[in-house]
Chains A and B, each alone.
Chain A
Amino acid sequence: MSSPKTNPLEQHPLPSQVVKDDEPQLVAAAQGGNIEAFETLVERYERKIFRLTQNITQNREDAEDAMQESFLKAFEHLSEFQGNSRFYTWLVRIAVNQALMKLRKRRPNEVSLDQDLDTGEDTIPREVEDWGPSPEDRYEQRELSGILSEVISELAPPFRIVFQLRDIEELSTEETAEALGLTLSAVKSRLLRARLKLRQKISRYFRRSDNQ
């Protein structure tokens, strides 16, 4: 049986990852017609939602459209938000749908999230290179963002999207499965493959150099 996701790394969360205490109040105010409250929520999440739509669609114009449509849709359906999950999780699900629609429109033959994927022997990494300590510190923030975007874009959509939802947006396995219409075991197998593939691809930037 699966349990809600816990961060295995127990890192100190960044300020942006902490659930803001005022979110329920802002949502309630927005539901009551307070425009400024809704705008505050938009400003809080616009960067994350744009990264999400960008990572799914891999197309700047589609990502912008999907982000804009997500916030408009969220506003239109705000009265239906019952508070059973975080507002952000609800918003992510809307954004995933919008982004997937764009992606399927642009690449109709390429995007089938529930296609049967090989999970055989090639899951086992062949090349294993160790990294130096804090390898991300070798790069400026902007450069690191570029590397992370480039590497994730090399994954096929079924892996990229599951990784995005589970490990970047921190949705649970159950929430990810529901958002994508996949079974729990399909989410888990795609996530494992995505994590291992990303690890391998990102190693070219982070592997230990000879003088470390």
Chain B
Amino acid sequence: MNCKTLVIELENYLDEELDPSIRASIEEHLMKCKKCRVIVNTTKKTIEIYCNSEPAPLPEETRLRLHQALSKRLRRAHPST
């Protein structure tokens, strides 16, 4: 395992889709190579930050327009409600 191979396998490593023997050799390489360790850790952190980020509230006028359009369409489909 070298740095180039690690990057090629990074996708499967991060998503835990690797054969255990390849995984073990990646982890062995990570113990020795600080550069790859930083790449793996900061890439994991990038995914984590995006994955855990809460979407911003809808701008009020956008929310109003959405619900007005829906209300019109929904009540046309079900006039009795």
Contact = CB atoms under 8 A, between A and B. Distances in A.
Interface of A: 2-3, 5-9, 11, 14, 16-17, 33-35, 38-39, 42, 46-48, 50-51, 64, 67-68, 71-72, 75, 123-125, 128-131, 135-136, 141-142, 144-145, 148, 152, 163, 167-168, 170, 173, 188-189, 191-192, 195-196, 198-199, 202-203, 206
Interface string B44-66: 11111111111111100011011
B47 A8 contact: yes
Contact of B16 (A8, A35, A51): A8
Interface residues of chain B: helix, strand, loop or mixed (majority): helix
Contact of A39 (B7, B47, B56, B70): B70
**Binding site of A, secondary structure by majority: helix, strand, loop or mixed?**
helix
Nearest to A42: B70
A142 B55 CA distance: 10
A38 B77 CA distance: 13
A124 B3 contact: yes
B16 A6 contact: yes
B35 interface: yes
A124 B77 CA distance: 54
15 contacts: A8-B16, A9-B48, A11-B52, A33-B81, A35-B78, A39-B70, A50-B55, A50-B58, A50-B62, A64-B66, A71-B66, A131-B41, A145-B54, A188-B11, A198-B50
B14 interface: yes
Contact of A72 (B51, B58, B63, B73): B73
Contact of A131 (B45, B66, B69, B70): B45
B47 A195 contact: yes
A128 B66 contact: no
B48 A64 contact: no
A8 B45 CA distance: 10
B32 interface: no
A195 B54 CA distance: 19
A136 B54 CA distance: 13
Contacts of B10: 192, 195-196
A145 B39 contact: no
A35 B51 contact: no
B74 A75 contact: yes
B53 to A, nearest CB: 6
B43 A199 contact: yes
B39 A46 contact: no
